[in-house]
Structure 1
Amino acid sequence: MTRRTALAAALAATVCAPSALAAQPGPERTYYVWVAAEAVDRLSLVRFGPGGARVEREVGIGRNVMDPEGPHGVDVSPDGRRLYVSTGHGTPFGDLWAFNAAGDSVLGSVTLGDFPATLQVSPDGAYAYVVNFNLHGEHVPSSLSVVSTDPLVEVARIPTCTMPHGSRLSADGTRHYSACMMDDLLVEVDTRTLGVARHFRLTRGAEGGMQGPVAPRAAGGPPADHGGHGMAAPAPGGAACSPTWAQPSPDGARVWVACNRSSEIVEVDVASWRMVRRIAAGDGVYNLAVTSDGALLVATNKRGQSVSVFDARTGRELARIPTLRRVVHGAAISPDDRYAFISVEGVGSEPGTVEVIDLRARRRVAAVDVGQMAGGIDVWKMEP
């Protein structure tokens, strides 16, 4: 049996018989999840319920088939009515798109900076916060775009640092966090003043918090070494963090930062703006998600072909679940904290995958193929 045939068989078994993979009973509810496929300009609505997982609907995104858009970030508005998608490529800049949450109509778009990436909508639904990752540029500071959702207009572009990623808001919407891969920094933006309030250096041995914006960096220099966007192994003895995600805790007391290069999670206390600890993580830890009760922290291991589940209080890794394909990307958790939905990019001509992790059983219970380079992912709704 070839590797491709074996993988296809494993996928079929996972989709058709999730109960065979876990002692836990199948889902009593039905969950709907949106995922973006960056390589094929396509959004997929995945349905997961008592009958397993399947693709319910697919929607194309873009203006011109000859100009790839590259959908990257995905976020559903708090009221569940709108779906927001950032497109990182295009000419010359990227955009933020708004769809009806069912995916059957485009509500509008607005042009932002170079390679808009991760995004999140504010708790009141009034603003979308999108980091401009600037994947193809030089080592120069980039920015955070603040977009009014009605009308769809960029109202501010806040300078931050080099290659920001992991756009996440505190539960009360007053603070925004992102992490800059090339500067080893966590950045906190005050959403009331629309300015950088503090930043935190994550480099091992040089950790420390500072007030105010990041000091400007000289323009020019060599092209950025993006290391395969999170796939480069660390240099021997290196101290760099190369952060790719910032995840605040539900109570706002902590921020966890994924150090992709060093395969660690740095925990920062928000009140004191000091590091609490470094948590050993999987190889190439990339994206993070936390349960609404703050009990579990889920991490995707981009180089490690796995997903880790941590006890958020103690920092102990409770499980490390292998994924069916390589290049693990995003994570989204169901509103009832029962399941984690994981996007996996795949390699080469492989399709992307959405894998479903049962957080009680701490194992994979379903998987379904979507478009190539599956990345941004978010839960739309669950029924009943």
Structure 2
Amino acid sequence: MSNPLPRLLAAALLFATGVAGAAPFAYVPNQKSGSISVIDTASDTVVRTLTAGGALGDRVQAIDADARGTTLYVVDAGNEQLVALNPAGDRVRGKVAIGADAEGVRLSPDGKTLAVCAEGQHQVLLVDATTLAIGARIKVRGRNPEHCEFSPDGKFVVTSNEGSNDLDVIDLAARASTGTIATAGHPRGAAFLPRSSTLYVAQESANGVDLVDFAARAKVATIATADRAAGVTAAPDGKRIYVANGSGSVTVIDVASNIVIREIAVGKRPWNMAITRDGRKLYVANGRSNSVSVIDTRTFAVTKEIAVGELPWGVVIAP
């Protein structure tokens, strides 16, 4: 029998160093398990499970990653903290107290600032991505900001306010909310088209996705989807929008026409998603199925359902 040790060591080295040409990893925070599943997007298998040595609480929620994939930023709501985690070593690089009921986190386009949506506090925290120092606490005009999204130019943060059915627009230079944009009802996940001022926002109670002209600060239209729209992801080329619906499907929208072109059945309560940089694979976290569905975006087929931890919140792909 051959010795498996050299292969295992090579795999570990590949993970730790991010060798050029290696497929990226998809990271899935599991709310109830206090863990993060690591999926190799080449094989679509879970290759590791991160727990930060058991330090993560039982409400592991939003996650983002730096451009190199060397740091994960995780909202550990159970312990009321934001954790910077080194995935290669499964160790905490730093952490900062963020208070109760925080939900979303997003890293700015320049990689310098984190925006944390503190839903129960009705504010956005701006956190230095290197030092994890909180630079500002910005009160929103709406209620219960759940998701934070940076505009592509990095000058603004948009929050989806579940409790007031609107979006806050936060000017980062002024460090203040400059106003709100009304939505169709119960906004959840949101995504800008790449290099664009067009924003798509899932509307859970309206069973659709709002098309927002961010430059004009106005909702242009609501596109009907399946029931309980919750998550939104844009294709890297800006040609399609994907909407995860709590009723168990992903709606595919053609951006040029804003027409629904496909409805894809996935697991139970799909939520937040991520797409590979080449746009060929979409990874969908199925919260009530404890799985991630992999969708081939060329054929619209679900090619695999990957078992992960309990109550997966979403997916981020890095680098």
Q: Return the TM-score normalized by structure 2.
A: 0.88
Cα pair 1:62 1:69 within 8 Å, conserved? no
Contact 1:186 1:257 in 2 (8 A): no
Mapped to 2, the partners of 1:70 and 1:331 lie a distance apart of 18
1:208-223 correspondence runs (5 A): none
Partner of 2:166: 185
Q: Tell me how far 1:29 sits from its aligned partner.
A: 7.2
Equivalences for residues 310-349 of structure 1 within 5 A? 310-323=253-266, 325-346=267-288
Match of 2:65 in 1: 76
**1:121 and 1:128 in contact (8 A); partners too:** yes
- Alpha-carbon distance between aligned partners in 1 of 2:137 and 2:201, rounded to the nearest angstrom: 23
Two-structure CA RMSD over aligned residues (Å): 1.9
Against the structure 1 CA distance between its residues 378 and 103, is the aligned structure 2 distance closer, same or farther, given a 3 Å change threshold?
Answer: farther
Give 3-state SS (helix, strand or coil) of 1:89's partner.
helix
CA distance in 2, matches of 1:122, 1:30: 24
Q: Where does 1:292-307 land on structure 2 (aligned, <5 Å)?
A: 292-302=236-246, 304-307=247-250
Match of 1:225 in 2: none
CA distance in 2, matches of 1:279, 1:114: 34
Looking at structure 1, the residues matched to 206 and 109 of structure 2 have their Cα atoms a distance apart, in angstroms, of 32
Please list, as runs of the form range in 1=range in 2, the aligned pairs for 1:197-346 lying within 5 A after superposition. 197-203=178-184, 241-302=185-246, 304-323=247-266, 325-346=267-288
Aligned CA distance change for structure 1 residues 246 and 273 (closer, same or farther; 3 Å): same
What is the CA-CA distance between 1:64 and the residue it aligns to? 6.2
| Partner Cα separation in structure 2 for residue 259 and residue 62 of structure 1 | 37
Task: Pick the aligned partner of 1:104 from 79, 90, 94.
Answer: 90
Give structure 1 stretches of 5+ with no counterpart: 1-27, 135-140, 204-240
Residue among 119, 123, 145 paired with 1:143 = 123
CA distance in 1, matches of 2:103, 2:304: 27
Query: What is the distance in 2 between the residues matched to 1:62 and 1:283?
Result: 39
In 2, the alpha carbon distance for the partners of 1:326 and 1:62 equals 30
Structure 1 residue aligned with 2:115: 129
Instruction: Count residues in correspondence.
Output: 298
Match of 2:49 among 44, 51, 58: 58
Q: Which residue of 2 aligns with 1:118?
A: 104
Q: Give the fraction of aligned pairs with identical amino acids, expressed as a percent.
A: 23
Which secondary structure state, in structure 1, belongs to the residue aligned with residue 44 of structure 2?
strand
Structure with the bigger RCO (C-alpha within 8 Å, sep 6+) is: 1
Compared with structure 1, are the counterparts of its residues 165 and 262 closer, same or farther at alpha carbon in structure 2 (3 Å cutoff)?
Answer: same
Query: What is the rounded CA distance, in whole Å, between the counterparts of 1:290 and 1:164 in structure 2?
Result: 21
Distance 2:153 2:206 in 1: 31
Task: Give me the whole-angstrom Cα distance separating, in 2, the residues matched to 1:326 and 1:43.
Answer: 19
Return the letter of the residue paired with 1:274: A
Deviation above 6 Å: which 4+ runs of structure 1? 62-65
Instruction: Give yes or no for contact 1:345–1:372 (8 Å, CA) kept in 2.
Output: yes
